[in-house]
Amino acid sequence: MRDSDKPTPAEQQPLDSTAASRRGFLRGMGGATLASLLGVSAIPYLRNLPDGLIPVALADEAANVTLAGKEGLVVLNDRPVNAETPPHLLDDATTPTARHFIRNNGIPPANMDADSWQLTVDGLVNKPLQLSIADLKKNFEVITRELVIECGGNGRAFFNPPASGNQWTYGAVACASWTGVRLADVLKVVGIKPGVVYTAHYGADTHLSGQAGKLPISRGVPIAKAMGDENLIAFAMNGAPLHPMNGAPLRLVIPGWPGSCSQKWLTRIQLRDQVHDGPKMTGTSYRVPNRPVAPGEKVDKKDFVIIERMPVKSLITHPATGSEVSGRSLEVRGHAWAGDREVRSVMLSIDFGASWLEAELSEPVNPAAWQHFRAQLEFPQAGYYEIWARATDSDGVSQPFAIAWNPKGYLNNSYHRVAVRVA
């Protein structure tokens, strides 16, 4: 049996900045998906487009592929589409849709029609339901929350020895404003039968292989987490319909846990009496060893445990790394978040960690939103500095300096370091 988590050759294919390397961009991608990437409703002469030819609108020589409705994202892979946001473009308190990262495991569905969309909620429930988006709006309280989604593999690029998978640096994280209904409210209405331990989430995207019925990803969470007040079945993002690449027209948002729990293009939620075993739930996917391991250490598969809450972390969003500073004083800004916990403090250092200054830190606007920090830093003389940030959560746990290495490259919450040159 194939380890569902092993990247397929297609997934491993890196994207470099030349158009030629993007051959394969179209392979298997539906016309509707391509049209949505181009920001049009149709490509009238799609049938004439030679297989593998990159639409010139997507093939500029810049490192950033132009994705319709996205701006400034760095594309790591085009099949599936994976793109992250440079830290300095995450400076907004609430992440604009154009700057929300994209992590796809398969091919987005061709049909993302909100009016005909149906969500099935079934499994071990008293009354299975099929709900349209209109039903969700009509029958449940609609709420808006700012919620952090972070990919479990954010920061993987810094692992040594390297870990395979998307080489995310810092930007597979965002905190957008999501509108929808509480997952818990829907589960209460269908009625949770005794013995339920886990949810299973299904989306309408299809596997890269094109094999019918094969799912790219289907994950779930323990029922206790699912019943948390913070989880949404969301149909709006920053006050507008979801972006096609962020799961339009309906998705889960399970903040504070690996982004993979937040199923996009959501079609079904099933309740189960056992831990879910869908693609990317088993093997070593979204799992870490049950104990600290040395870099490069081989770990038996049976010693891996499912990642639950994400660890405390911070990101400096101003200044951009590599900035030139004129004058000796500089405002530093950023965000910090802590999975299901709150952030208690953020400390900053400009002397490679010898001394630390406490930043001003905002309260979260709602649970599971990121918190903002700012400080005015004074530099004693001209030269090269690094600004380091270290957040501590409400349980007193801080970000580590060194990466807690693990074989699949998850949960890197080591300090964010930003370089500045003071003139």
The minimum distance between CB 262 and ligand MTE, in angstroms, equals: 5
Q: In this complex, which beta carbon is closest to ligand MTE, that of residue 37 or of residue 102?
A: 102
Which residues partner with 387 through β-bridges?
Answer: 418
* Contacting Mo ion within 127-166 (CB under 5 A): 151
Examine residue 203 and tell whether it contacts ligand MTE (CB under 6 A): yes
Question: Contact with ligand MTE (CB under 6 A): which of 259, 311, 339, 364?
Answer: 259
The verdict on 260 binding Mo ion (CB under 5 A) reads yes
- Which candidate, 341, 342, 347, places its Cα nearest to that of 359? 347
Nearer to Mo ion, 151 or 223 (CB): 151
Angle (nearest 5°) at CA 16 between 174 and 40: 60
Q: Does 198 bind ligand MTE (CB under 6 A)?
A: no
CA pair distance 219, 261, nearest whole angstrom = 6
Applying the rule CB under 6 A, the residues between 208 and 247 that interact with ligand MTE are 216-217, 246-247
Q: Assess contact for 284 and 409: CB atoms under 8 A.
A: no
Identify the residue whose tokens are 């339901």. Answer: 129
Is residue 262 at the binding interface for ligand MTE, with CB under 6 A as the rule?
yes
Work out whether 264 is an interface residue with ligand MTE (CB under 6 A).
yes
Among 77, 260, 270, 371, binds ligand MTE (CB under 6 A): 260
Residue 94-123 contact track with ligand MTE, rule CB under 6 A, x = bound:
------xxxxxxx-----------------
Rg, Å, the chain Cα set:
22
Alpha-carbon distance of 261 to 386, in angstroms, equals: 34
Residue 216 interacts with which of Mo ion, ligand MTE, none, CB < 5 to 8 Å by class: ligand MTE
Residue 350 touches ligand MTE, criterion: CB under 6 A: no
- Compute the Cα dihedral for 76, 81, 82, 84 and give only its sign: positive
265, 370, 373, 405: which one binds ligand MTE (CB under 6 A) = 265
Which own/partner pairs from 323-327 qualify as long-range (CB within 8 Å, at least 24 positions apart)? 323/418, 323/419, 323/420, 323/421, 324/420, 324/421, 324/423, 325/379, 325/420, 325/421, 325/422, 325/423, 326/423
Which stretches of the chain bind Mo ion, using CB under 5 A? 103, 151, 259-260
